[in-house]
Amino acid sequence: MNTVLSRANSLFAFSLSVMAALTFGCFITTAFKDRSVPVDIQVSKVMIKNVDDFTGPRERSDLGFVTFDISANLQPIFDWNVKELFLYLTAEYSTKSNALNQVVLWDKIVLRGENTKLNMKDVKSKYFFFDDGNGLRNESVKGDGVCESEPKGDGICFRAASG
Amino acid sequence: MLSAFKSIPTHMDYKGQKLAEQIFQGVILVSAVIGFIYGFTIQQFGWTVYIMLAGFTISCLLTLPPWPMYRKNPLNWQPALPETSGETRDKPQENQKKKKHK
């Protein structure tokens, strides 16, 4: 601590350790919160076609077209450890060949600071709703809205909203 | 340029170094606590970091330059020996050192 450089060294190293402790404190205050929010999803139009499946092996599969409305208020999820939210809508159903199928239909990224009230009408699905096989006819499909939050402090946490 | 920087005296005595260390640790810890509480209240971690950086700058200003308060207990050095006997003792040692390096 005799020279300026050695004083600056110990000061800087101490500040970095304190910053690390603060970040850990930020993580601890928010890691165990329950982050599910009620979501309202309504399907307005469904159409199923049976076409050649161009995403995989060349067989005819069922292709579904879903148009839906989704509304939710995401404000309670944004705390000081959340940088952005990644939302996606999955359709879950079971067929004769597979016990559980999950297909992602639509996703959206919501950054911190943007509008947190989600109110979208007549949204078309972004991704193709292919079934491997012909199992979509006459099947009841459950829509699951999932939101994955990207925090500042640590790894990705995964919380589900039901709808 | 560098020699001008090196000739500025930056030493502190031992009690001054201890005081400087206590000061910067105290300032940074206090600013960390204030920053954490404020950031938690408004739910933005950015403010915590800003307050920490302000505390870091304050403690830099307080402890890096050698203020007079850090020099209040100077060390008592022994008085310097007279120069002539010091030189004659050094010369044979220097010759020996040069031979060893070759």
* Facing B28 at nearest CB: one of A3, A14, A78: A14
Q: What kind and span of H or E run contains A9?
A: helix A4-30
The pLDDT of residue A45 is 60
Q: CB–CB of A7 and B52 under 8 A?
A: no
The pLDDT of residue B54 is 93
- What mean pLDDT do residues B54-79 have? 86
Other Cβ atoms closer than 10 A to A50: 13
Whether A127 contacts chain B with CB within 8 A:
no
- Interface A:B, Cβ pairs < 8 A: 61
Whether B9 has a pLDDT exceeding 60, the answer reads yes
Can you give the residue ranges of every domain in chain A? Answer: 1-32, 34-162
Report chain A residues whose CB lies below 8 A from the CB of B63.
Answer: 7, 11
Beta-bridge partner residues of A42: A69
Q: What kind and span of H or E run contains B91?
A: helix B83-101
Question: Does ipTM top 0.90?
Answer: no
**Model confidence pLDDT, tens digit, residues B17-62:** 888 899 999 999 999 999 999 988 888 888 889 999 999 999 999 8
**Model confidence pLDDT, tens digit, residues A17-43:** 999 999 888 888 877 766 666 666 666
Residue A53, φ and ψ in degrees, nearest 5: -85, 105
CA distance B19 to chain A (A): 11
Q: CB–CB of B28 and A15 under 8 A?
A: yes
Report, as ranges of residue numbers, the positions in chain A whose pLDDT lies below 50: 135, 137-140, 147-163
The pLDDT of residue A54 is 65
* Facing A7 at nearest CB: one of B20, B36, B39: B20
Structure tokens at A28: 């601890």
0.90 surpassed by pTM: no
Whether B89 contacts B62, CB under 8 Å:
no
Place of tokens 């005296």: B9
The pLDDT of residue A163 is 27
Q: CB–CB of B48 and A2 under 8 A?
A: no
CA distance A65 to chain B (A): 41
The pLDDT of residue B72 is 82
Place of tokens 């001008």: B4
